[in-house]
Structure 1
């Protein structure tokens, strides 16, 4: 079934991003439908994280446009209540002196601004978000005292506080234990079932068919994008990973 423009959460046209004059993403055209749970996969150095940051306006592209929900003004200022971002855990300064509850409450600053302080209702909502990720008992704990998996759950709870329409997550399963991974998957699927669009940079090919309903394969360029059952196959994987290793055979 062909989609109308209004059915897309994100539309990218002719996007090119370069570091030191070397293209990291080249001439990207990509449409992401609303209400999908989408994996972005590709080898190391393929530009997966760069793609997320370019969509979010955290990187300035050489050329191209990114449009959210058909808006002509895609500034972060205007989109702050529509878009949530969970970065890679390794890119966060975990020594920042804040409690778990403080970090989660940061998710409502887009709505409140930095002058108005969160109130009782906001704190109750933050605790509810922590309960959803199984971290309510750690609300008063310093963020630096948590394990990697626990820290990742806290940042997911912060994203939930934004009540966004689209969620970007950069390798949320990296370095977490099995229990945390299962909890994250349940949460992502709940977001999708509630009509949210979720875009996840993912590295484990084995779990793509189980976790996601949409997938984009990239390696500098977009190799393929669409429903998992249609585009997640050996031919596209070979194009993306430029390999015929046993991993590909075990997936498809």
Structure 2
């Protein structure tokens, strides 16, 4: 597929990120076309979460640039058009907030932190909770939810932003099969709406079923493109540095 003629949701150029002078990502070049549902896969320590955070501006790279929406803008000018679902383990679930409060936080990018949510924002939040099957838990404290329920709430928070590009860091981690199925349906619905969704993913066996685009990384980008073209055993061996057949079950 020739992607030169496509418009891009995200462009990463010569991105290098280091922790304590040790490179974690090295010379990353990546172009993500609009309207794709993309998995980012690689072994533990490959830099998947670091890549997401660097693209979001949550980490300062040693070098390189990240541009959004046809290369016109950086993250700081587009925060209300970018949605983010972090890893569940990175969230303070003891924070005293109800489910509805958390979802309404997704509106603050447009409202600012001073203005109170409007009636329309509350209605949108409740509608989104219904969409993820969590409407009946609106008044419950987030600490009282199961892992799968918490993940649904943070997905709802991202959805109310009505963003153009979504980043999700292992949204299926620790959730039950029913929640995973519900999340997949929502991701595909976002794609059908023309949204771009970038997902850090660890289950190789579901890549072809869930996604249409994939980026394989291990400190560097090994390959990126349509699943049917780049998600094959040779690239997986390069990514996971395996000379055996441990990845064949994923194909």
Q: Which residue of the partner structure matches residue 171 of structure 2?
A: 172
Q: Which residue of the partner structure matches residue 125 of structure 1?
A: 124
Counterparts of 1:5 and 1:143 in 2: how far apart (Å)? 44
Provide structure 1 residue ranges, at least 5 long, that are not aligned to the other structure: none
Do 2:7 and 2:70's aligned partners in 1 also have CA atoms closer than 8 Å? no
**Range moving further from structure 2, 6-15 or 177-186:** 6-15
What TM-score do you get using the length of structure 1 for normalisation? 0.97
SS where residue 152 of structure 1 aligns?
helix
Describe how 1:75-154 pairs up with structure 2 within 5 A: 75-76=75-76, 78-154=77-153
Q: What's the offset of the Cα at 1:249?
A: 1.3
Q: What's the offset of the Cα at 1:119?
A: 1.5
Q: Which residue of the partner structure matches residue 157 of structure 2?
A: 158
Q: How many residues align?
A: 251
Counterparts of 2:217 and 2:152 in 1: how far apart (Å)? 27
SS where residue 225 of structure 2 aligns?
strand
SS where residue 14 of structure 1 aligns?
strand
Q: Which residue of the partner structure matches residue 13 of structure 1?
A: 13
Q: What's the offset of the Cα at 1:245?
A: 4.9
Q: What's the offset of the Cα at 1:2?
A: 2.6
Counterparts of 2:26 and 2:71 in 1: how far apart (Å)? 23
Do 1:8 and 1:34's aligned partners in 2 also have CA atoms closer than 8 Å? yes
Q: Which residue of the partner structure matches residue 36 of structure 2?
A: 36
Counterparts of 1:5 and 1:61 in 2: how far apart (Å)? 29
Q: What's the offset of the Cα at 1:139?
A: 0.2
Q: What's the offset of the Cα at 1:171?
A: 0.1
Do 1:5 and 1:70's aligned partners in 2 also have CA atoms closer than 8 Å? no
Aligned pair in 2 of structure 1 residues 244, 149: CA closer, same or farther (>3 Å)? farther
Do 2:10 and 2:71's aligned partners in 1 also have CA atoms closer than 8 Å? no
Do 1:215 and 1:231's aligned partners in 2 also have CA atoms closer than 8 Å? yes
Counterparts of 2:19 and 2:80 in 1: how far apart (Å)? 30
Q: Which residue of the partner structure matches residue 190 of structure 2?
A: 191
Counterparts of 1:189 and 1:44 in 2: how far apart (Å)? 26
Q: Which residue of the partner structure matches residue 64 of structure 2?
A: 64
Aligned pair in 2 of structure 1 residues 138, 36: CA closer, same or farther (>3 Å)? same
What TM-score do you get using the length of structure 2 for normalisation? 0.97
Q: What's the offset of the Cα at 1:82?
A: 1.0
Q: What's the offset of the Cα at 1:247?
A: 3.8
Do 2:11 and 2:71's aligned partners in 1 also have CA atoms closer than 8 Å? no
